[in-house]
Structure 1
Amino acid sequence: MDIPPAALSCPPLTVLKKRADFLRAARAGYKPMPGFVLQARRRPPGEASGMRVGFTCSKKVGNAVARNRAKRRLREIARAVLPTQGRDGWDYVLIGRRDVTADVPLDRMKTDLAAALAHLHK
């Protein structure tokens, strides 16, 4: 398993767990992509340090097995892309899509996440 050098020097991603953090990200910018939706917001200075990420899949995605599979795939693309493309002081939320998140190839989802980040960071 090859781990990119940038990922080795980057601290682990902090995971969003509070509903209020998800709601704040929902009111900020978002970018729909074929396999997922990305919401992102820049936190005000002093709120928290580092980059934070959250994952969510509604019951529309499917039963518990389908939702967990979709979230595992979202976590994988976040681990691969955010250490190099994400920015310090930002919150990111990845939302799974029905019948798509589980089927889109991971390489395509990684490319889409990089493009979505570039769009939101403009």
Structure 2
Amino acid sequence: MPPLRLLKVRAQFLTMNRALRVPAGSFLLQARDRGDDDPMIGVGFTCSKKVGNAVARNRAKRRLREVARLDLPTQGRPGWDYVLIGRAGATAARDFAAMRGDLQHALDKAHSGRAQRGRP
């Protein structure tokens, strides 16, 4: 099981804007193959102010972090980076089991190449 590395730097998030985009039911997943020999899985989380006030954004990010902690080590691929972007009204209100299913479906779609490319 590869370890998770947290994406923290703005430049890493900007690079992910050009990555694969997979809309899931309760969030948007961005995924990209780094193409290096580092076996770690990179993961980042973000929620805009559209999600709500600080309390709502933090709740949504806590739920995204927990879903990623449970499923990315087994479902994610070593050498890939993933960013989970919260959606207004959906991330905080969706059933947790459904969120896990959303992540597994989104990862399958990203790894199979059926996802659309991000902004150039």
* TM-score > 0.5 by shorter chain: yes
Q: Secondary structure at the match of 1:52?
A: strand
**Which residue of 57, 65, 71 corresponds with 2:47?**
57
Matches within 5 A, 1:12-91: 12-46=3-37, 48-91=38-81
Letter in 2 for 1:21: Q
Please identify runs of 4+ aligned residues in structure 1 that moved more than 2 A. none
CA contact (8 A) 2:3 2:40 kept: no
Local SS of the residue matching 2:93: coil
Identity of aligned residues (%): 60
Q: How many residues align?
A: 112
Separation in structure 1 between the aligned mates of residue 31 and residue 50 of structure 2, nearest angstrom: 22
Deviation for aligned residue 1:44: 2.2
DSSP 3-state at the match of 1:121: helix
- What is the TM-score with the length of structure 1 in the denominator? 0.87
Cα distance in 2, alignment partners of residues 40 and 49 from structure 1: 15
| Letter paired with 2:40 | G
- Consecutive unaligned residues of structure 1, counting only runs of 5 or more, are 1-9
CA pair 23-43 structure 1, distance change in 2 beyond 3 A: same
Alpha-carbon offset, residue 13 of structure 1: 1.6
Q: Which structure carries more relative contact order (alpha carbon 8 Å, separation 6+)? A: 2
